[in-house]
Amino acid sequence: MDSSVLAAKRVLVVGDCMLDQYWFGDAERISPEAPVPVVRVLRTDARLGGAANVALNITTLGAKAALMSVAGEDEAGHTLRSLLEASGIESLLQTDSSIKTTVKLRIIARQQQMLRADFEDAPTREVLAAILGSFNDQIERSDAVVLSDYGKGGLNHIRQMIEHARQVGVPVLIDPKGSDYSRYKGATLITPNRAELAMVTGCWSSEEELRNKAQRLREELDLKALLLTRSEEGMTLYTADGELTVPAQAREVFDVSGAGDTVIGILSAMLATGMPIEDAVRIANRAGGIVVGKLGTASVSYKELFEGEQ
């Protein structure tokens, strides 16, 4: 993949963004107040999370990314905007002063996550309506769109977004959540993991049963493809032409946080260049194998992904 081809492409990311905060420290004793470890915090870190992490993966690879989401008028929101600017992501954030910016706080000691605390509110209808209007303008300037659904309320107008993207011929990739996948009808591709797919189709006891369930869902939703991410089993792509299973890369798994963001971000950038979906899946799988070897939400560079292929 030529880096200049990527640099000319723009991916619009829409959905639930958040700030991932990390508190790192030591845990050498148990609290006298309760049977829990005491963590002495030594340093802190703030990173882009959710839809913002998808956008970060796209820009780190070398393509352009624009992020359309909602943040509050608070300290976390200001930090989020600063990180977006520093990362070269085009910010299309709407401000909702009535909510708190979504934050996931992780406390980590001795390379182990001890606790995660979530802070979140749902955006107001007025702000979501403004996002839909902006989406219709932005989609025509984009080569692909990712709808990153974390179930935080930022994609209430997802049906209209999919329909408009289809009208202008822009591929739509969705990281799904919840049990109602009818809202994703007409998308180009969805990327559920095993637990997410089982929530919608029911469990399976064989590859044949899985194949039938996945293909039936793909047809019902009028999707071009369904990409099932399977952790240590790699990924399986289901299309009208059949299926393609790509084995997981043989790497030590350190942290799976944000791995789904990396997969769909890299996949969207590849499809924006016009690459066949099967080839794009192989590259996205390799990217997922790299990022799980890093701590916390992370991204993959062009050099890491294509090193040795030039």
| Helix ranges, the chain (H) | 3-7, 51-61, 75-86, 125-138, 158-167, 194-201, 207-220, 259-272, 277-291, 302-306
Catalytic residue among 16, 96, 143, 261: 261
> Does residue 178 come out as left (phi exceeding 0), alpha (psi in the -120 to 50 range) or beta?
left
End-to-end CA gap in the chain: 8
Number of H-type helices and E-type strands within the chain: 10, 15
The contacts of residue 256 (CB under 8 Å, 6+ apart) are 231, 292
User: Distance of alpha carbon 273 from its chain centroid, rounded?
Assistant: 19
Looking at the DSSP bridge assignments, the partners of residue 225 are: 189, 239
Distance CA 272, CA 189 (A): 13
Residue type, 137: D
| Count of C-beta atoms within a 10 Å radius of residue 287 | 26
Distance CA 172, CA 153 (A): 19
User: Is 261 considered catalytic here?
Assistant: yes
Which residue, among 263, 227, 259, has the nearest Cα to 245 in the 3D structure? 227
Longest dimension (CA), the chain: 62
Q: What is the full DSSP assignment across 69-106?
A: -EE-SSHHHHHHHHHHHHTT-EE-PEE-TTSPPPEEEE
Active site residues: 261
